[in-house]
Structure 1
């Protein structure tokens, strides 16, 4: 397939075998949310708690077609760590859970380019994730919170959460310019953990230290109408390139649906959880979370759209 893209996008520009994060406690869900039938956007954590999302947050700016919270560029202070050893876990893709969904796809000619300087914002706020259920990408949304795809932290097939995860913001091959942080809790929603519904394939990781103070974090943007034609970029850690290197591709939103957005950015397994972001009045803000590839005759890759419910949950998880 021939694709027409490359539209302009302005962006603000140890040994693992010996030391791994200790397994996290995984509990049986205990409802603390309102009784009755739960919305598929109901938040749930790996410690077994089902809870309610907040509805109001500080720093929210309302605009004619939605709302946003701004990101933060961080101090840029480095704490470099040399990563010893090679690949720890296979890349994670939605295909592992959904037989009819292909892994993230290169569409036509591969137009991804390597991010050679991962210490500039926003690239330093994009993280390589390693865990016992596979390798993925995530992005800082607060000093100690990383947004990612739900299938990067919870496997509906086995009914299990990841028991550990290590996050390397701005990783560049064997170098972690800002060190790393370990997961202390995972969050997703019941639509993913109970039903494995790709419309609710999103989540977050709470970290053991505020590494985002150095790297900065992304803003979040809700757009109430169509996003078609909006310039956007996807950058992450694909499994078909040199391990631990970050790659990006720019395109525009091609199709807008209630829960998903579709685009022709080239991606590959391992880029699940990447931010789908652009630069606008809100600074560098994500509009979706990359989750799936081409399937069912549709020619585009796709991501979970940041709707009001997703926006509320991501902001709630920052404060848990």
Structure 2
């Protein structure tokens, strides 16, 4: 039998014309890098088309309104079941008291907005969060997903307004966790923010803190950080006021004293007219590192703001 020599070009063209099972060409759009702000969830998918009420839009920013809540407490303090170490313990830049510790304890955690600030316990560590809706808590990404072990928290209990063994609003259980691809896939601290969906409308009693974004520098804005540090009596809330010292595209820097366990705390203005009350401008995530003398948080940019709105509406 005689074989005819086939040119390489002819063979390539013939193979290219054949359909390949299980293969389809990748479009330019799908091959493009995924936006690190793309929202992701532990369970199910995120519906980005739904938006909550109470949203205000401006020419250079937007705001989600604060709500004081009814303040109604549960009939009796509910017992706590877990004692956890702060999330992120041992990692760079998770805790920083800058000089003399100037934090003061919040002794009346039932006052607004302190009752809307929550102690979070989970199997990946303790953190702080803040109510942004009836059953949604904003927090840091590393409070719900550990990029080192590549796993989500499997459970979380959220205690708004906790004061040691006193839990005046009881607690709510997490039913879903949200973050973004920049944190879940890459562990990039610039995208270290998240939210927890709860099993009850506990925020109707505690109220919730507003949040806003604006373009341009935020230097000089007076702000406060209040949360649940791991170096103080377990489950007690501590605060320290300062101002924004440095503004970056995705981060805000400040000199508030913080410690591990305060990750996820709101970096908030006591009052801003856009929110009609206390108004967060960042999520506290990191302490001092890299030669910079300040603590820092994930800035609430327009995209972060939009994701919080989306998660709140799920």
Q: Tell me if TM exceeds 0.5.
A: yes
Secondary structure of the structure 2 residue equivalent to 1:214 = helix
Question: Hey, what's the Cα distance between the residues in 2 that align with 1:267 and 1:133?
Answer: 19
Are 1:268 and 2:259 counterparts? Answer: yes
Residues 186, 205 of structure 1: 8 Å contact kept = yes
* Distance (Å, rounded) in 2 between the aligned partners of 1:94 and 1:220: 27
Task: Report SS of the residue matched to 1:82.
Answer: coil
Distance 1:183 1:86, change over 3 A: closer
Label 1:289 to 1:54 Cα distance change in 2 as closer, same or farther (>3 A). Answer: farther
Residue of structure 1 in register with 2:15 after alignment: none
Question: Take 1:52 and 1:77, find their aligned partners in 2: how far apart are those partners?
Answer: 32
Instruction: Answer yes or no: is 1:41 the counterpart of 2:33.
Output: no
Q: 1:289 aligns with which of 283, 300, 305?
A: 283
Structure 2 distance, partners of 1:250, 1:235, is: 9
Q: Which moved more, 1:218-227 or 1:74-83?
A: 74-83
* Contact map agreement 2:78 2:170 (CA 8 A) in 1: no
- Whole-Å Cα distance in 1 between the matches of residues 102 and 304 of structure 2? 30
The equivalent of 2:14 in structure 1 is none
The residue that corresponds to 2:120 in the other structure is 129
State TM-score, norm by structure 1.
0.84
- Which secondary structure does the structure 2 equivalent of 1:188 belong to? strand
**Residues 55-70 of structure 1: matches in 2 within 5 Å?**
58-70=53-65
Q: Comparing 154-163 with 277-286, which one deviates more in the overlay?
A: 277-286
Q: Of the candidates 77, 86, 89, which is equivalent to residue 91 of structure 1?
A: 86
Specify which of 157, 163, 170 is matched with residue 166 of structure 1.
157
Alpha carbons of structure 1 residues 243 and 87: separation in structure 2 relative to 1, 3 Å? farther
Which residue matches 1:280? 272
Q: Which residue of 2 aligns with 1:77?
A: 72
**Deviation readout 1:155-185 (Å, 9 max, x if unpaired):** 0011100000000000000010001000000
Normalising by the residue count of structure 2, what TM-score does the alignment of the two structures yield? 0.86
1:198 aligns with 2:205: no
User: Any stretches of 5+ residues in structure 2 without a counterpart?
Assistant: 1-28
Q: 1:129 to 1:80 in 2, by over 3 A?
A: farther
Q: Deviations over 1:249-278 (max 9, x none)?
A: 000000000100000000000000000000
5+ long unaligned stretches in structure 1: 1-33
The structure with the largest alpha-carbon Rg is: 2
Deviations 1:12-67 (A, max 9, x none): xxxxxxxxxxxxxxxxxxxxxx9453210001001153x46348654322335311
CA distance in 2, matches of 1:71, 1:104: 28
Against the structure 1 CA distance between its residues 76 and 117, is the aligned structure 2 distance closer, same or farther, given a 3 Å change threshold? same
Contact 1:54 1:313 survives alignment (8 Å): no
